Every structure is written in C-alpha cells, then in structure tokens.
Amino acid sequence: MTAPAELLDAARSGDSGAFETLIAPYRGELRAHCYRMLGSLQDAEDAVQESLIRAWRSVPTLDERGLVRAWLYKIATNRCLTALERRARRDLPVGVAPGSPTTEISWLEPYPDLSPEARYLARESVELAFVAALQHLSARQRAVLILREVLGFSAAEVAEQLDTSTASVNSALQRARKAIDSAAPTQQSVLHDLGEKATNALVARWTEAWESGDVDAMVALLTDDARYSMPPLPEWYRGRDEIRAFLLRGPLQSRWRFLPTTANSQLAFGTYLWDEPAGRYVPGGLDVLTIQGGRVAEVTAFLTADLTRFGLPAHIRV
C-alpha cells in the first residue's frame, strides 16, 4: 500500500490516479458534510464533485502532507457557502410558518444510510430534526457548528478553513448553539434506540397496519402529539385525531405494500401503492419515522424520493 505522503507527492506531479487514491477515504464523509450544509443529496453530490475538481487543480499548492483532510473540508465548505448564497434554505412542512408562500420553498431531502460513509456518521448528525434545525442557521453559523461540533475541528482549524479569526469562529459557534437550543420541538433531535427486538416488532406492526388498512392499529402506534407531513406537499397534520381523519380520506383509499429500510439514521419504509393497469405496486414515497418511547412521534413521507437510493426495488410485482 502506497503511503499517503508518496501519493501526495505523485498527485502534485500530475498523477491523477494517485490523487483519486489519496482522496478516496474522504469522499463519503465529504458527501455527508455537504448534505448537512445543503439539505439535499443531489446538491451535496454536486458540491463534492465540484470540490474535488477544485482540489485536483490546486493540489500542487498543498505542501503540508498531514493536512489533506482539513484541506478538502476547506474546499468543500466554501463550495457549500457559495452555493447557499444563491439557493433558498431547505425546510420540512412542520417548520414552515403558516401563510408562507410555499411555491418558493425548497424541501429538505432524505439521506440514505446504505452508503459507505455511514461508518463516519454519528447517528444524530444526520437525523432529519438536526439537519432541519441546521437549515435555520446562517450559512456561516451552520458551517462553524458542523466543523466544530460534528467533525471535531479546533477553533483555530475552522478559522483557517473559513479565512477568519478564532474569535469570530467562537462567536459564531455561541450564536449557533443558542439558535439550535431554542429550535422548535419539531426541529429537535429525538433519540430512538429501541434495540433490535423492539424495532423488529414495531416494523411488523406498522407494516401489517398499513397493508391491511387498519387505521386503528396505525393510530395506536402514534404518540398523542404525533406529526405527519408529506414534502413536497406543504400541509401537515398533528395529533391522533387529525392524522386518523387524513389517513381515512386519503392514503387508505389505496392498497399498500411497505418495505423497511433506514434513512437519516432513522427507521424508514419504502411505500408502494397498487397500480391496477400496471399490475404491480409502484413507489408512493419514503416514510421516515421518528420514534419516541417506542411509539411513532413523526412521519415524514418524502413523496418523490428515489427508493432505489435506499436499497429498495423500483416496484413490486405480485
């Protein structure tokens, strides 16, 4: 195995293969970083690709052999900051103020856990609630909070990455912490480590309830103040009675099949509804569940998610 120092020397000399080998261990974690910053998997992938092109062009200027990771994060973070200058923040329906013009909203997207970078991620760092709360910080505060508290860079390192002072970084971090701490309950992270046995039981009960159309069984699995949203539709429902009424007049008019997966380090289901002309179940969305006390506290149904990105089939034949 070629040493990193040798790979860097070769890359600085124009060896593109050495450069690819050098940056390969960081590609996945950079994608997760850009997702936290931008709230979109596609935007994150674009940002990583653009960042690596910039890194390749500037690799001859990298003299410190031990700073490859920090150097890549500097390029990727600044690429995200540039992107955020011209893009609206991403939200979930539950975080949008009543009366807001929904035609101008960019919606937060789910993140697949089946990717190689999963081993780099603390679970809470990509949970929907945390990523949604990040979107309400300024771009610079968002970058500082992620670099300092998720990725563990020192204040001095972050100052160098953002071309600012350590004092400015510390000030931005304090403001970001305060904003995150005062986030609405719908944007705060909820731990949901049920253990394998309890998770499997919940998966079985939730799947059976949906596939049999048993609304009473579904509602019994919800917390009293559960929330249900369906981006890109702007509406959302809160509480068992509202959700029950919505399910009866809408989703439960169709036949469903549910397949479990994970997204944003949370329990999720690929949902498929029966298409009579096609003679098969076709994608209906990706439901990401937040669990609290063994019950479902929130369902975020991403109606346009590509289920194949989450290790699921494009359709189900019977």
Q: What letter does residue 185 receive in the DSSP assignment?
A: G
Average pLDDT over residues 96-117: 74
Phi-psi region of 111 (alpha: psi -120 to 50; beta: other; left: phi over 0): beta
- Looking at residue 186, what is its pLDDT? 43
**Residue 174 CA: distances (Å) to CA of 70, 166, 270:** 22, 12, 39
- Looking at residue 191, what is its pLDDT? 41
**Whether the Cβ atoms of residue 227 and residue 237 lie closer than 8 Å to each other:** yes
* Domain 4-187, CATH homologous superfamily name and number: PhyR, sigma-like (SL) domain (1.20.140.160)
CA separation for the pair 182, 151 (Å, rounded): 22
pLDDT tier, 86 (very low <50, low <70, confident <90, very high otherwise): confident
Q: Which fold has domain 196-317?
A: Nuclear Transport Factor 2; Chain: A, (3.10.450)
Burial class (CB in 10 A: 0-12, 13-18, 19+), 182: exposed
Whether pTM > 0.75 for this model: the answer is: yes
**Residue 120 CA: distances (Å) to CA of 8, 58, 116, 133:** 23, 26, 9, 21
**Whether the Cβ atoms of residue 309 and residue 262 lie closer than 8 Å to each other:** no
Cis peptide before 232 (omega within 30 of 0): yes
**Whether the Cβ atoms of residue 153 and residue 76 lie closer than 8 Å to each other:** no
When mean pLDDT is compared across 100-109, 154-163, 241-250, 292-301, the lowest value belongs to 100-109
Q: Is the pLDDT of residue 206 over 60?
A: yes
**Whether the Cβ atoms of residue 167 and residue 186 lie closer than 8 Å to each other:** no
* Domain residue ranges of the chain, discontinuous segments joined by +: 4-187, 196-317
Same CATH topology for 4-187 and 196-317: the answer is: no
SS3 134: helix
SS3 92: coil
**Whether the Cβ atoms of residue 250 and residue 215 lie closer than 8 Å to each other:** no
Burial class (CB in 10 A: 0-12, 13-18, 19+), 250: exposed
* Chain length of the chain: 318
**Residue 14 CA: distances (Å) to CA of 10, 17, 70, 137, 260:** 7, 9, 21, 39, 46
When mean pLDDT is compared across 57-71, 117-131, 276-290, the lowest value belongs to 117-131
